[in-house]
Structure 1
Amino acid sequence: MDRVEAFNSRPTGQLETELLAVCAAPAWGRTVAAGRPYPSKAAVLAAADAAARGLSWPEVLQGLSAHPRIGERAEGASKEAAWSRREQSTAAGSGDEETRAALIAANHAYEDKFGHVFLIFASGRTQREILAAARERIGNDEPAERAVVAGELRKIALLRLERLLDALD
């Protein structure tokens, strides 16, 4: 059985639970699961992309709930914690103490302004790059930042969905 067939044949409850590890917005997982059967991996990813673009702001906030602060190590043995550690691995080891301290300060300033964690697609980015993005985004107004956050959540969800699909057999 190929990976898309395995995805399509998962019991709905099991698949929705697996999709919650990909994106903690239940509406996203329900929408992706309800679209089965998919003819290809590209079709699964396209449906997931569309579902992420359709999330309301409260649903995006649900998705954010599973993300640690950037630069903080996700704890636990869950799949999403492992993915978070992997996604932030370059950033975690790429900065000096001054950069780490500045990133912590930027996280707090961001949270004070927007009321939620700073979310960024961290895969392959250094701490300095993430810090620069955080500082830039603190200057956004609320509507602009909500659009950026929703886009970052979408990119993370699509990467994680690819990893989930690649692990199916």
Structure 2
Amino acid sequence: MWTLGAFNAAAPEAAVEVLTACCASRAWAEKLASGRPYGTVASLRAAALAGFDELDEAELAVAHAAHPPIGEPKPAGGGAEAAWSRGEQSRAMTADEAVRAELAAVNAAYERRFGRVFLICATGLTGEEILAEAKRRLGSDDRTEHRESVAELRRIVALRLEKAVRP
């Protein structure tokens, strides 16, 4: 999407916009944008993940809430984030109707239990693999599931940052 040079030279708001497509926490995006220029994509990635690790619960909730339920990608349009979401879930969307229906039921049960959507870095996973993981995590205690959910969100942020800014 952007070269590192273009990202470094972009207006602050433009840089924040591309970053919030990676992670919806505006505080995270503003902090990362204010750290420019970055000498390498690797240094940008390191700063991004260090900043992610410093997010408080409120900002993690903002970032988490920006993700659609697995199997229900954002509608067409919506910029880079929506396109990435559709692409990340594309393999899962090829599952048969029975798997997608069961996934919707497990998503609903997960949301009732934990108060947020089930989140997984879905890139390359089949609907069946995602369903099995959702069922497993549905049985987790709150603390364990929170840790797993944050780890998955971090993976998604890293993946999207790689798509957003290249050498």
TM bucket normalised to smaller: over 0.9
Residue 109 of structure 1 deviates from its aligned partner by 0.6
Equivalent pairs counted in the alignment come to 165
Once the two structures are aligned, what percentage of the paired residues are identical?
44
How many angstroms does 1:73 deviate by? 2.5
Q: Which runs of 5+ in 1 are unaligned?
A: none
User: Partner residue of 2:12?
Assistant: 12
Q: Counterpart amino acid of 2:81?
A: E
Alignment of 1:42-121 (within 5 A): 42-77=42-77, 78-93=79-94, 95-121=95-121
Q: Supply the RMSD in Å over aligned alpha carbons.
A: 1.5
TM-score by structure 2 length?
A: 0.93
TM-score between the two structures when normalised by the length of structure 1: 0.92
Runs of 4+ with >6 A deviation: none
Aligned partner letter, 1:148: E
List alignment gaps of at least 5 residues for structure 2.
none
Per the alignment, in what secondary structure is the counterpart of residue 163 of structure 1?
helix
Letter in 2 for 1:82: A
Helix, strand or coil for the counterpart of 2:165? helix
SS in 2 for 1:28: helix
- Structure 1 Cα separation of the partners of residues 56 and 138 of structure 2: 22
Q: For 2:75 and 2:21, how far apart are their aligned partners in 1?
A: 14
